[in-house]
Structure 1
Amino acid sequence: MKLLILGGTEFVGRAVAEAGTARGWRVTVFHRGRHEPPAGVESLHGDRTAGGGPAALAEGDWDLVVDTWSGAPVAVRDAARLLAGRARHYTYVSSRSVYAWPAPAGLAEDGPLVDVADSAADSTGDGPYAEVKRGGELAAEREFGAERVLLARAGLILGPWENIGRLPWWLGRIARGGPVLAPGPRELPVQYIDVRDLAGWLLDAAAAGRTGPYNLVSPPGYATMGGLLEACVKATGSDAELRWTDPEAVLAAGIEPWSGLPVWLPPGELHDAMHRGDVSRALAAGLVCRPVEETVADTWAWLRELGGAAPQRPDRPEVGVSPEQEAAALGH
């Protein structure tokens, strides 16, 4: 199988590349050359934001294309247009953010989408994330034809190579030990997907010719905040003491959900949208999720290999609360 990854050196793209090479596939990654690609892949270089960016893709043919782009939809359009006659199937890694807000609990793939015009596929701007991702979906389907495009609407993604900083922040904080602000309730459900489970499912689904949208995240209630943070304590071997704190007290301390305390959202509309989505279609198509303890332990092992400093995407803000904010919330 000949696989082309548009990206392929960071987080999701890297996991897809490693999953492909592990299968013995011929893997090509198209990237800007800013990061070292995984071993065993062929590299093509280009900047999709520059004039003539995808020129390195002008020759060659592939069975499957996986596109992890999260910027202006025009880059998806241009790559898909260039490859449409030389590749069999196109997977665009989208997001559950494309659903119209507020997304109610249990929303499936047929839910209402963010309202954008068909011209969003030609957008050259990095606008609101939901609109950008929807524009990428439209671009991929227009250039390849919906009958050849898989739309992977991922939710929260965790695991090794994370360059957003969510799980790495929790692991780093808990590794330091002492009293840790643990946002409650402890049994609050958390819905996420390990990047390696996402990558494996994408390749299985693309090889099988699956098309259309799929919500890709673990089943609702698959994990909890308690299970996630306790797994962090166990993996790091820390003496951290998790101080479970009611959502009202966390919010009263001025701490932002999601960005201040990564992954966590208090019960209510935000939580329903992010952590209670319907994934029955992906499960029926073979999605299998590994235990939260494995995701956490492997992410910690990867961080230790790096010396504790996780990579950080320059286009995403750093997450986490300061020691002063945490102490204030704990009443110290």
Structure 2
Amino acid sequence: MDLLVLGGTAFAGRAVVDEARTRGHRITVLNRGTTPPPAGVTALTGDRTRPDGLAALQHGTWDLVVDTWSGAPTAVRDTAKALSGRAGHYTYVSSRSVYADDPVPADENSPTVDASPDTDTYAAAKRGAELAADHHFNGPVLHARAGLILGPHENIGRLPWWLNRIARGGPTLAPGPRDLKLQYIDARDLATWILDAATAGRTGPYDLVSPPGHTTMGELLDTINTVTGGHADLHWTDPQTILDAGIEPWTDLPIWLTGHDYAVLHGGNVTKALSAGLKVRPVTETVADTWIWLRALGGTAPQRPDRPAPGLDPTREAAFLATLQP
């Protein structure tokens, strides 16, 4: 098939390109050209925030389109218009953040946030892009509402931070409880499902993340410790003790959350996606492959310029751990 990936050089988009290559698809990518394209693709350059950003797509037809845009919905609107009649199926990589009022557990029937073409908050922008694709693409549209995405090529910094921190070894803050259930998706499993679903002509929203409890905080950090050499002395600590010290979930300690935020992110209902063939690999594979990729880069992962790098400052961590000593 002829596949157009809008993006295609980083993380989820890169995973789609890699999976498509294994299937023998003819792949075109369109992006700003700031990151080298993967091998074996036709690379087109265009900045979708500019009036002429879609000029490179004036000609050509594609069977499938995968759009990873996360900015203002106007870019998706303009692209959907431009490709109508020249593409067979449009997949927009959205987010489970589109749900309104943080329902627990959320599923595809839950209410979504209000959105408009020029909205600038993340949740509303993702929902606005969904609406733009629905309204302006003359063909089947699939919304891949991803949850927490991990795996090789991650440019957000969550799993890479934990890998580097635990590889550094020594006393290490481990946010409890150990049996805290986690829910995420490997970018490669997301890519596989997207291409399968698009080929099958699936439409509408699908929440794409592992079943709740696919792994636990304990299994994740223990696996990281094993994979990176076992140098860390994990100090499992009660959540309230961590919060009382002003250490923030998600930003200081990536992936880990508490309270309602935890229930929203790690307790989604993914029955629909599982029934549609979603398969998720074990956490050991995600961790090991991400570590191999990270080491090949010398330990420094790429970081999206629009996202702050997560992770607890080593001095703050050491000072906090010292307060726990008897």
The question of 1:243 aligning with 2:242 is answered: no
Deviation string, structure 1 residues 88-133 (Cα, Å, up to 9, x no partner):
10000000000012221x22100011123xxx1x32x5x1110000
The two structures have a TM-score, normalised by structure 2, of 0.97
Unaligned regions of 5+ residues in structure 2, if any? none
Match of 1:219 in 2: 211
Distance 1:102 1:21 in 2: 37
RMSD of the alignment, in Å?
A: 1.0
Counterpart selection for 1:190 from 182, 196, 208: 182
The question of 1:133 aligning with 2:126 is answered: yes
Distance 1:27 1:330 in 2: 50
Deviation at 1:326, TM superposition (A): 1.1
What is the aligned-residue identity percentage? 63
Deviation at 1:238, TM superposition (A): 3.0
Distance 2:151 2:175 in 1: 21
Unaligned regions of 5+ residues in structure 1, if any? none
Deviation at 1:83, TM superposition (A): 0.2
The two structures have a TM-score, normalised by structure 1, of 0.96
Counterpart selection for 1:320 from 287, 311, 324: 311
The question of 1:306 aligning with 2:297 is answered: yes
Match of 1:231 in 2: 223
Match of 1:253 in 2: 245
* Structure 1 segments (4+ residues) deviating >2 Å: none
Match of 2:265 in 1: 274
State whether residues 2 and 64 of structure 1, in contact with CA within 8 Å, keep that contact through their aligned partners in structure 2. yes
The question of 1:157 aligning with 2:157 is answered: no
Deviation at 1:37, TM superposition (A): 1.1
Match of 1:86 in 2: 86
Distance 1:30 1:9 in 2: 9
Deviation at 1:194, TM superposition (A): 0.2
The question of 1:169 aligning with 2:161 is answered: yes
Match of 2:55 in 1: 55
Distance 2:206 2:316 in 1: 38
Deviation string, structure 1 residues 40-90 (Cα, Å, up to 9, x no partner):
111111000112101111110000000000001000000110001100100
Match of 1:16 in 2: 16
Distance 2:147 2:230 in 1: 29
State whether residues 103 and 272 of structure 1, in contact with CA within 8 Å, keep that contact through their aligned partners in structure 2. no
Match of 1:148 in 2: 140
Paired residue secondary structure (1:331): helix
Match of 2:35 in 1: 35
Equivalence map 1:100-139=2 (5 Å): 100-104=100-104, 106-116=105-115, 120=116, 122-123=117-118, 127-139=120-132
Paired residue secondary structure (2:174): strand
Deviation at 1:286, TM superposition (A): 0.5
Distance 2:153 2:34 in 1: 15
Amino acid of the residue matched to residue 150 of structure 1? L
Paired residue secondary structure (1:66): strand
Deviation string, structure 1 residues 180-222 (Cα, Å, up to 9, x no partner):
1000000001100000000010000000000000000000111
Deviation string, structure 1 residues 203-260 (Cα, Å, up to 9, x no partner):
0000000000000000011111111111110110131011100000110111111111
Number of residue equivalences: 323
Distance 1:107 1:163 in 2: 26
